[in-house]
Structure 1
Amino acid sequence: MKRIGVLTSGGDSPGMNAAVRAVVRKAIYHNVEVYGVYGGYSGLMTGNIKKLELGSVGDIIHRGGTMLYSARSEEFKTKEGQQRGIEQLNKHGIEGLVVIGGDGSYRGAKALTEQGFPCVGVPGTIDNDIPGTEFTIGFDTALNTVIDAIDKIRDTATSHERTFVIEVMGRDAGDIALWAGLAGGAETILIPEENYDMNQIAERLKKGHERGKKHSIIIVAEGVCSGVEFGKQLKEMTNFDTRVSVLGHMQRGGSPTAADRVLASRLGARAVELLIEGKGGRAVGIERNELVDYDIIQALSMPHKVDLGMYQLSKELSI
């Protein structure tokens, strides 16, 4: 394989640029040309494709977002859209494609793979919800962003003796809420993978208040419910001074942590190695700090699992 492409798709995540950099420089090191696809699958269909050189990816490893830009495309979900994408890849002489993104990006790579075009998926999403890897690119950075917000909100919660509900991202996965809640010392954590009892939460807060506890932090994953609606209901049940903070897209931004930069570099380079070895239709990941790869179709059929042992620990430590 002498010419490959790289694109980023779906929601951006810190470390995507580090992954793009790794793909470009690893490929050039092995005398393979690299072409960047700008604007995700939409850019692929329209042929927004340009050759990348060593200097094209200089000074980007520390930057959040993605230099290749990103977009979601309903049209690419169709056979016609996918064929248009393959035509553009063939037009530019591209023999393999590295796709950096989350669940939807993987499904696009899977579709191309099923039509005979070799793709390798690299997990880039803050949600940490991609099967076949313990961690996704951007999760650690988003986690630290949330923890920083929790620490700041706790200061004002303490000063005003308030209950704060903090809604975090994660789509249908509770990893951000669970890890940030445990690290931030939250009193209650709500994740999609576990049911909750509103009455129990209210009673727990009341008991804490009776023993002198003046403030509480509750982390709500967006896949559970609206933080605003939860806060209203909680205030009605407890009559406590309750405030809600929806952190939103600030969780996707910022300079990637060292962990995300290293992870992105390792996964991006491994994706190139697989294409050079003629192994398309794969998804790379990390397990127990070792690089792994799975059939991308198989990977998408694997369930994402949250660590319920950590969830139980968060309950035990927040008594």
Structure 2
Amino acid sequence: MAITAQDVKALRDKTGAGMMDCKKALTECDGDIDKASEWLREKGIAKAAKKADRIAAEGATRVAVDGNTAVVFEVNSETDFVAKNEQFLALMNQVQNLLLSAKPASMEAALAAEADGKTLETLVTEATATIGEKITFRRFAIVEKADDEAFGAYIHMGGKISALSVISGTDTAVAKDIAMQVASMSPQFVSRDDMPAEFIENERHVQLEILKNDASLASKPEKVLHGIVEGRLTKSLQEMCLVDQVYFKNPDLKVGQYLKENNAVCKSFIRYAVGEGIEKRSENFADEVMNQIKGN
């Protein structure tokens, strides 16, 4: 199948790999971006899980708490400049208040929720017209906690990243530390127990393929290779698990130890980063890619 400039750019944004490496990966994987991303990882060209935050779009995320209810949401704009102006910030406040009040269960319900006779969808449409850029209400999550639990809320760099944690116990300081850990280290799961078996098996396959492509290990006995794979798998999975990560305030502690010392358990967490998974428009880059494709 034909590989387009936008396909190459999307894979490059996702993995940080070079342009022609991305083209080759897409060709090998019949244009499937997810498979191509994994192919690049297996070849040692890119570590997609570490590069995902390179995907960018402008706007802001926010986390807010009201009693036993919290909300995390993202609103996108076309430029960072607009994301900092008063009109955009006023819209963020309106969205926050509306979500906390209505507690919608779906995107459809959120867009239809009303405040002062206007739906959220109308507020976003009006902001687009007033500000002069396309404004999009992208995603949200409503989280409820029990009285004997605590929320931890953290907003980084004015909304570039927002994180929410829920822990057992009522120590909000510990809960905020966990939210900061989530924001800075981007875990995918609370613990390995939360990982689906197929996810672990797929990661094992990725690590095995990486080793197969390492010429320096080609002569190693299968038993040795198996041990190396399992060791790398363990390290990789630990980096993805909150409780196994090194605690950002004390490198001598794991997060799980920090929680135990404070008689707490992390129940759940959410992390939003502005623009993750969204591709920025870049006509000049697309032209560059097309020229490279045509020349090869």
Name the TM-score, length of structure 2 as normaliser.
0.27
Task: Kindly indicate which of the two structures has a greater share of residues assigned to helix.
Answer: 2
Name the TM-score, length of structure 1 as normaliser.
0.26
